[in-house]
Amino acid sequence: MELAPDGSAPTDTAGLSAWAEIDLDAIADNVAALREHAGGTPVMAVVKGDAYGHGLAHSARAALARGASWLGVAQVAEALDLRAAGVTAPLLSWIHVPGTDLAPAVQADIDLSAGQPWALASMADAARATGRTVRVHLKVDTGLGRGGALGDGWTELLAAAAPLRAEGAIDIVGIWSHLAWADAPDHPTVRAQRERFVEAIAEAERAGIRPQVRHLANSAATLTDPQARFDLVRPGLAVYGLSPVPDLGAPQRFGLREAMRLLARFSSVKDAPAGQGVSYGHEYTTPAATRLGLVPIGYADGIPRAALNAGPVAVRGTRARIAGRVCMDQFVVDLGAAGLDAEPGEELVLFGRGADDEPTAQDWAEACGTINYEIVTRIGPRVPRVLVGTAGREDADG
């Protein structure tokens, strides 16, 4: 992300060729809506992956401003970045590898996840090095087949935890798991995973472990499955106003609004004759005399190459599409084919709010054969995040 001289994110677009507008109030309002969907169950806002491309620290503060009581990240480095930014809320990090120095995380009051005995041993080493007890969330694999203790491994994990708890090296404050098919709430795996989660909690309780929080629900389950709430819900994508269940409804159906709008300015507009090949490989040819607009953002910035002849944009409120291949730093729009014209420096919208009839991240996902998560998360650091709204802003009144 490009930063202002004082280290903050920019707040205007002067001189920018492309930028991602981040609505902090939308993030805050989405968290409030998610908490309402969850019947008041506390919310852990997941801000991994630079807050799904929205910007880590300011997105975390915005989420906390309207009711998130926890934050979640994948990697320890992300958690330490939040602490360095002054964020003090309860914070869980769940991915590390053998050999990771966990002492800085323990010193920074970061909760850590363990799904195998080696992870508990690493945490105990950090506890001894710092003289502090590590707050641990044990992860059970209830059927995703990814992280966490699977099958008899759960019994082994509980056994490995016992002496470390007795030593005072660890305190088990959470038990958690992750759903494989929450975006299809009627899929039989959802019920099977809930049942396995309950069984795993019961086994832990028989071993004398009664955690403060049990959490299973991601964004999709938060919106569609009351039985998955337990003590804490863990939404990610929906915090940023995108629907995790697009087959069931757009963001508006769930009281959400998109927090990111991706905009750019035309760097060139020129006349082209009929039959002109456009961009590498000439995979688009102008069907008639037209005007071609050049947009200075490309796959180095996260625009998918798969948007060939398909990525939607809006110019003066009218939809157009990418013409030809997306290049590293730019792509072309056939303005005439959409009955449009434009001038160099004029703005266009790549994606934004569906309620405003703008192309959306979901539209881009469908055009590129991917998911809306990837569209927003892949927007790279050359694209400045321009902040609007006041939620969580350190310089905001009140």
Instruction: Supply the DSSP string of 231-279, one letter for each residue.
Output: TBB--SGGGGT--S-TTT--GGGGT----EEEEEE-SEEEEE-TT-EES
pLDDT tens digits, residue range 317-328? 999 999 999 999
The helix, strand and coil proportions of the chain, stated in percent and rounded to the nearest 5, come to 35, 25, 40
pTM over cut 0.85: yes
Average pLDDT of the segment spanning 185-200: 96
CA 60 vs CA 191, 199, 368: distances in Å: 31, 33, 29
Average pLDDT, the chain: 95
Residue 4, pLDDT > 90, answer no
Q: What token pair was written down for 171? A: 């305190």
pLDDT tens digits, residue range 79-107? 999 999 999 999 999 999 999 999 999 99
Instruction: Supply the DSSP string of 329-353, one letter for each residue.
Output: S-EEEETGGGT----TT-EEEEE--
Which residue type does 391 have? A
So which residues are the catalytic ones? 48, 280
Q: What token pair was written down for 115? A: 């799904």
Q: How far apart are CA 387 and CA 260, in angstroms?
A: 10
Q: What token pair was written down for 39? A: 């019947």
Average pLDDT of the segment spanning 322-351: 97
Cβ-proximal residues to 141 (8 Å cutoff; 6+ apart), any chain: 115, 147, 148, 149, 150, 153, 154, 177
Q: What token pair was written down for 111? A: 């909760």
